[in-house]
Amino acid sequence: GVTGIRPFEILNCADLGDSPTNPVDLMDSLERIEKFFKEIILGNILPLSAGGDHLITLPIMRALQTAGSPKIGMVHFDAHTDTYDRYFDGYKYTHGTPFRRAIEEGYLDPKRTVQIGIRGGLYSADDEAWGNEQGIRVIHIEEYNDLGPEKVIEEARSVVGNGPTYISFDVDALDPVYAPGTGTPEIGGITTYDAQKMLRGLSGLNLVGGDVVEVSPPFDNTGLTALTGVTMMFEILCLLAEQVKNRGSKMDTSVA
């Protein structure tokens, strides 16, 4: 591709299969996912994951956090902030709450978090206010369109700095013409070209992993959303490969 990065020549890449889950117990599923990713990370493997709803990022962040390590920063592409407190009559652990829980639990640094593409309705009036109070840099789609992808990524790089950073890409950040197969589509979103351009603009960050989430193939029988999702994963894989190459060390990465 345009970046010239060949991840499969730089890294030992492996598909480690699906994380175990418990279909009848959400809290047990979170524990199982965290354990699965802890084993991956202890094996000196950079995790690149496919979801699944956005709640999967919470146990992954729990697994990434080790004793004494700094909190994780995040570049987050999404139509929604996912910093809601409760959802669906009081549930604390849903696809709309992962980053509020991650901040509360001390894994995610809100002052090193930037959210790109935010738009659409709010679940409650204070959903976004809480994130702003914590110091999250929220770039609504209106500001994104005013600035353009290059300046948005300059801002994102400034926010996360040199600390450990995670990339989380929700496909509903994209306009649904590019990714209709998702649970909560929002019109007026980012183009796939701009998304690729922004991901490539994250080259050189101190990355600890990434994910692409909220792909739901049954909602899109054309296969377009699945293609879009895997392409965004490849862009993130190239970033991870470039980082390892620049460090001059041989390190594994995996798609789990």
Integer Cα distance of 23 and 31 in angstroms: 13
| CA distance between the termini of the chain | 23
Integer Cα distance of 20 and 16 in angstroms: 11
Integer Cα distance of 190 and 75 in angstroms: 15
Under-50 pLDDT residues of the chain: none
pLDDT, residue 114, reads 98
Alpha-carbon distances, residue 61 vs 66, 164, 256 (angstroms): 10, 11, 14
pLDDT, residue 143, reads 98
pLDDT, residue 27, reads 96
pLDDT, residue 253, reads 63
Q: What is the pLDDT of residues 105-154, one digit of tens each?
A: 999 999 999 999 999 876 666 777 899 999 999 999 999 999 999 999 99
Residue type, 222: T
Instruction: Give the residue ranges of DSSP H helices in 56-171.
Output: 57-64, 98-104, 127-134, 141-147, 149-160
pTM of the model: 0.93
pLDDT, residue 8, reads 84
pLDDT, residue 254, reads 60
pLDDT, residue 125, reads 65
Q: Which of 171, 169, 168, 149 is closest to 228 using CA atoms? A: 171
pLDDT, residue 123, reads 61
